[in-house]
Amino acid sequence: MNLRSCAVFTVCLAVAPSLLADFTYHETTKITGGAIVGMMKMVSAFSSQARKVGEPVVSTVYLKGNKMARVNDNDTEIIDLDAETITTINNHDHTYVVMTFEQMRQQMEAARKQAEKQQAEASKKTTESSEPPPDVKFKVKVRETGATKEVSGVQTNEAILAMEMEATDKQSGQTGALAITNDMWMAPEIPGYEELRDFQMRFAVKMQTVMSGAFNPSMLAMQPGMGQGLADMAKEMSKLKGVPVLQVMRVGSTTNGEPLPAASEAPLPPQPQGPSAGDMAKEGATDSATSALASHLGIGGFGGFGKKKKADPPPADTSATPPPTSSVLIESSTEMGGFSSASLDGIHFAVPSGYKQVQPKTVAGQ
């Protein structure tokens, strides 16, 4: 979200909310790959809640004047710029939390102090151990590939945003990078989307005031590359033009200093199918019955009589295969559609009747 000048903010405030057009769209987000998918499949064999993590989340975004609501089956978030509040509604527990911008500022201030304390303790330990802190560099780059395709009924152009935080150990010289690559398919324009941009700008300016004390210059001083990285990010993000109708984001790591490959340029291999919950339960029941029978016959100590023999491991591959230079922890996609400028009812921005208000959670030590 780009922060703009207060002069532009003043101009936007001069426009009466009643003159702002309503806007609605749908957004579908889902996890599409990465190492985390394998872990989710293992856990999902035992947990129905874990199985739902891999299911698509469909949200509807409503915008009317100075209010925006994001609604899905699990929860609803309502941002009210006039009241300076963010209301989070839990649709399962029938509860809701209202947090003011001031409360957010207080929590962020408490979190900053807590981070400074932890940072001071870590710095003391580093000094005592005489181990120099690693050098950290930030890289941000936006490039247009020239590729085009139709998404949600509109023609789009591809732009790839690559971000890296590279750390180098001063003693060993070893490097590693946390990397994010966002493969974005940009539509030149969507009728009504400008209203969303204006809302985000007004919200960003208000949040800038909230966040103004959240960052301490001393934190940037410890990692000079962070300040330059933030400046580079703002410069590169300004190159993006249009509406990101489809985004495929990857988060992972690299070892060669190169960006994490984008989804369109290096598709992930298919994930291996693990055993289902029914298969695991059936195998467990078979093993239990076999063990009980062996115990009853008094042959339980004869090396697992009656159990399936484990398959011999495959022969080791003797070919020289170079180690991978990148690893994708998680890949997710977000697609927009169903754009509409039809007039909206205020019910989309209200807490349903019968829901109970609960207090927001606070930062530890507050």
pLDDT score for 315 = 62
Give the three-state DSSP class for 301: coil
Q: What is the DSSP letter of 215?
A: S
* Position 306 confidence tier, pLDDT thresholds 50, 70, 90: very low
Residue 43 parent element (H or E): helix 35-44
Mean pLDDT for all residues in the chain: 77
pLDDT score for 122 = 72
pLDDT score for 177 = 76
Residue 301 pLDDT exceeds 50:
no
Q: How far is CA 234 from CA 22, 77, 313, 334, in A?
A: 29, 27, 52, 22
Distance, CA of 70 to chain centre: 16
Q: Is 285 exposed, middle or buried (0-12, 13-18, 19+ CB in 10 A)?
A: exposed
* Position 295 confidence tier, pLDDT thresholds 50, 70, 90: very low
CA separation for the pair 62, 342 (Å, rounded): 10
* Position 304 confidence tier, pLDDT thresholds 50, 70, 90: very low
pLDDT score for 319 = 57
* Position 150 confidence tier, pLDDT thresholds 50, 70, 90: very high
Low-confidence winner among 189-198, 218-227, 327-336, 346-355 (lowest mean pLDDT):
218-227
Tokens matching residue 60: 């509807």
* Position 107 confidence tier, pLDDT thresholds 50, 70, 90: confident
What are the backbone angles phi and psi of residue 138, rounded to the nearest 5°? -115, 135
Residue 288 pLDDT exceeds 60:
no
Residue percentage of the chain with pLDDT more than 90 = 42
Please give the residue that has the higher pLDDT: either 76 or 305: 76
